Amino acid sequence: MTAEAGSEITLDIEKPAVGGRMLARHDGQVALVWGAIPGERVRAQIERVSKSVIYATTTAVLTASPDRREAGPDWRCGGNVFAHIGYDRQRGLKAEIIRDALRRIGRVTLPAAPDVVGSPERGYRMRARLHARDGRLGFFREGTHRLCDAAATGQLRPQTTEWIAAVERVLARDRLAGLDAMEIAENVAGDERACHLELQSGVEASRFGALAAAGALTGLSATRADRPGVEILAGTPSVSDVLHVRPGDPARALRLRRDVRAFFQGNRFLLEPLVHRVVALVPPGPVVDLYAGVGLFGLALAAAGAEQVTLVEGDPVSGMSLDENAEPLRSRVRVEHRSVESYVGRVPTREPSGRGGPGAAADPASTFIVDPPRTGLSKAALAGIVAAQPARVVYVSCDVATLARDTRLLLDAGYVLDSVTGIDLFPNTAHVEAVTALSRPGPPPGR
């Protein structure tokens, strides 16, 4: 039958695809399907057809996987598209996604699917952005701008969703209009919470100070679409944690404070395991932490005993928190407030004679840690890293496609892929973090 929007087709599901859909084939066309599991036969309704790809949603499961389970009230509510899949199988699918991306995009064949470190499925999230519509707060349904109930997804702690409900009551009581979105940041223990409001043009921000009474907050801030700068409405909008940077060694601790707007990893249960993994991959010697954020990895290494750590962060919000966090470790660390591209552009290249070119001093034995945004390393950043020739690159990625692309480019520059580990920071979603280590065999050319 002709594949057209609205019609139904029968599909045998083959494997996971990046983004949460599953891959099948219909009359030679690739079909990407929501709500299925590899090995199942399903009926699916076609949403749209684009070139040779069919996009569809499962309407009936004809042959169910043993890993299928109840998905909850709305599996398409933000961060819930894998909720119909048993958790052990989710981890296996995410391992396949990493392996497949490295094979297809990076032309790297792993001998086995990587391990994926699992997480408790509920209450894991300590950062969230909620959208506002007519006094309600929630996530968007997948692929839409329709609001859905964040509490139903189970990602947030019950205490957090109770606080959100209290905020909605204040919005209604005081008839507060003009809120577009809200950023929430909590610490690992959940006993500190900060909030930042994104307001429409012309809104009087001070009126929203009433939200501070909805429940315990360390601080509340706001920005307005037509006005630069941040207005502090209550307290200090930041939260803090103490992290143990080596397993079983309570003396090695790091205190991190972060502004509510600063980027930070989102899973309270896997924060320390992620840090432990990165610390374990870094050998003795100088370290350069690119995209340092508030200092999670670079300062953890300094707290673990590293003597020479450079942290590079160009975002002013994260940079302020980074300065505060780095202060107790100033004898071991240096903070560079600049873009990664600007920093690596100053690192000297290694000429055939062995002499370095102009720029900042660099040690060829350095480890570079990179934790870039979803877009991965820019061409300039990658070129600068390759020119600096660090002995080791530890790459923390939130997007397997750009990780695979950048891995290929590093391999072409002479690096060897040593290890790949998945970290499931967002259970029940299609996202998976990956931590890879690459090394350059032997001394740099010319030495």
* Cα-based angle 6, 142, 84 (whole degrees, multiple of 5): 90
Burial of 131-162, coded b for 16+ CB within 10 Å and e otherwise, reads bbeebebbbbbbeeeebbebbbbbbbbeebbe
Confidence band for 53, pLDDT divided at 50, 70 and 90:
very high
Last residue of a domain, one of 239, 258, 280: 239
Cα gap 403→83, rounded to integer Å: 25
**Structural domain contains residue 54:** yes
Q: What is the model's pLDDT at position 147?
A: 94
What pLDDT does residue 444 have?
47
Residues 364 and 435 placed together within one structural domain of the fold: yes
CATH of the domain at 184: 2.40.50.1070
Looking up residue 327, the CATH number of its domain turns out to be 3.40.50.150
Burial class (CB in 10 A: 0-12, 13-18, 19+), 193: buried
- Same domain? 38 vs 155: no
Mean pLDDT of the chain: 92
289 and 434: one domain? yes
| Local confidence band at 2 (pLDDT 50, 70, 90 cut-offs) | low
Q: Which residues contact 331 (CB under 8 A, 6 or more apart)?
A: none
Please report whether residue 419 resides in a domain: yes
89-112: pLDDT as tens digits: 999 999 999 999 999 999 999 999
114: its two tokens: 């990587």
Domain-located, residue 186: yes
Single-letter amino acid, residue 376: G
| Percent of the chain whose predicted confidence (pLDDT) is above 90 | 84
Question: Are residues 214 and 350 part of one domain?
Answer: no
* Domain-located, residue 48: yes
**Mean of pLDDT values over 355-383:** 78
Find the domain containing 401 and state its range.
Answer: 270-439
Question: Do residues 282 and 340 both lie within one domain?
Answer: yes
For residue 86, what are its two tokens?
A: 């048993």
333 and 403 fall within a common domain: yes
Query: Could you tell me what percent of the chain has a pLDDT over 70?
Result: 94
Q: How confident is the model at residue 358 (pLDDT cuts 50, 70, 90)?
A: very low
pLDDT band for 429, please (50, 70, 90 cuts). very high
Report residue 160's pLDDT band, with 50, 70 and 90 as the boundaries. Answer: very high
Same domain, 429 and 388: yes
100 within some domain = no
pLDDT at 3: 79
Higher pLDDT residue, 6 or 208?
Answer: 208
Final residue of a domain: which of 51, 68, 85?
68
Same domain, 317 and 229: no
Hey, what are 156's tokens?
């947030």
Tokens 């499961």 sit on residue? 61
The residue-averaged pLDDT of 256-284 equals 96
Give per-residue pLDDT as tens, 293-347. Answer: 999 999 999 999 999 999 999 999 999 999 999 999 999 999 999 999 999 987 6
Diameter of the chain measured on Cα atoms: 73
Please determine, for residue 447, whether its predicted confidence score (pLDDT) is greater than 50: no
Q: Is residue 265 part of a domain?
A: no
**Domain total for the chain?**
3
pLDDT of residue 347: 65
Q: Does residue 58 share a domain with residue 18?
A: yes
Residue 26 binned pLDDT confidence (cut-offs 50, 70, 90):
very high
> For the residues 173-191, what does the mean pLDDT come to?
97
Shared-domain flag, residues 427 and 278: yes
Cβ atoms of 428 and 90 closer than 8 Å = yes
Whether residue 420 sits in one domain with residue 308: yes
Instruction: State in Å, rounded, how far the first CA of the chain is from the last one.
Output: 65
Mean pLDDT over 105-132 rounds to: 96
Q: Examine the domain organization and report whether 211 and 299 are in the same domain.
A: no
